[in-house]
Amino acid sequence: MDLLDTLTAKGLRGEVPTREEALAVLATTDDELLDVVAAAGKVRRRWFGRRVKLNYLVNLKSGLCPEDCSYCSQRLGSKAEILKYTWLKPEQAADAARAGVAGGAKRVCLVASGRGPTDRDIDRVTDTMAAIKEADPAVELCVCLGLLSDNQAERLKAAGADAYNHNLNTSEGTYGTITSTHTYADRVDTVQKAHGAGLSACSGLIAGMGESDEDLVDVVFALRELGSDSVPVNFLIPFEGTPLAKEWNLTPQRCLRILAMVRFVNPDTEVRIAGGREVHLRSMQPLGLHIANSIFLGDYLTSEGQAGQADLDMIKDAGFEVEGAGEATLPRHRADVAEAAQAAHAGGSCGTAASACGSGGGCGPCGGHARASDAPALEGSGDELRDDLVKVRRRGAGTELAPNA
């Protein structure tokens, strides 16, 4: 079809589609799905070959969050029966990280629930990073602690952090439907602080709550303008005990279309399939690897993923290979752009418009996006409620059981 030919040609050149073209991807039919995946796959292979980057989550502090993000099992007032614990000791976090690295993870993501860190919390995290780096100096470290105050990003960078995660989650226009305890502008400010300190931006979205196609395209274009080096695509995990527990509006086909749209808008950027892939993509997960070049290995923050070995088998069986520690994730020209942007921020000049900079909550990739009140019903939605697929994490960090990696 002409649309996919156009998108493929643009993607191979590293060009961004129009909003209308991005919307058209989401409007394609199930009969066209394999053509959409094949087109996005050509773009993915152009910039990332057949490599899959593995990332591993360590939940440093679980639950007990004062924020009221509607999608999150760790939110204020959540009745989800998740693990709740305060800060892990550095050696405990390092042990959890070691399991992920041994399983093939190149990046370890250190996440803590809460509105944002205190200076004492930054001290805790820097001690944890030191313990992890002592065991493996080459491991990439991404930190996700919520809203940052002045000089905290600089301290994380100086302590060895490579990246900071703060997801945009949804479009600016519908952000108020997610939470009332902080604003989109607060998120904008945190990503600017992280960029200004020279940290790589890891910022993505959460889909699955009946949001409109326009909302999805808005947030993905905002992420592109933001200059996010890594775009995690989360699919809502409807936890019992949260306001969105009964919201099941995704099909595997819808998820693949969303991933393809993200890839076309971000042809040369790391696109990561994050929380909810086992719940919503299910047996279609291998097709997602033809679009995205990055996944989380094993479990998530408060939910269990498929076995780590199953992830590795899936990658191999689909004809892909795990990205090695010595391999650069981003293509050289993209890495140059990221480094230049960081240098510009460090010099006091933001390379992106303030309205385009934003990010996501301190609880990381654990949920989805509040339903827009005027969002139309999704064509092909109506996925049956599958509570059996939502498994609360009972192993790994914060428990006596071995982690899944």
Q: Which residues are catalytic?
A: 65, 69, 72, 109, 142, 202, 272
- Contact of 279 with 249, CB cutoff 8 Å: no
Angle between helix axes 252-265 and 2-12 (nearest 10 degrees) is 50
Helix (H, G, I), strand (E, B) or coil at 366: coil
Interatomic CA distance for residues 263 and 257, integer angstroms: 10
Chain Cα centroid distance, residue 88:
22
- 201 burial type by CB count under 10 A (0-12 exposed, 13-18 middle, 19+ buried): buried
DSSP states of 178-216 as a string? T-SSS-HHHHHHHHHHHHHTTPEEE--EEE-SS--HHHH
Interatomic CA distance for residues 361 and 182, integer angstroms: 9
- Contact of 41 with 47, CB cutoff 8 Å: no
Q: Which two tokens stand for residue 80?
A: 């989800």
How many CB atoms are located within 10 Å of the residue 32 CB? Answer: 16
- 50 burial type by CB count under 10 A (0-12 exposed, 13-18 middle, 19+ buried): middle
Interatomic CA distance for residues 2 and 218, integer angstroms: 23
Chain Cα centroid distance, residue 191:
14
Cα-Cα-Cα-Cα dihedral sign, residues 363, 182, 23, 338? negative
Interatomic CA distance for residues 236 and 25, integer angstroms: 21
Q: Which two tokens stand for residue 386?
A: 């599958």
DSSP category for residue 88:
P
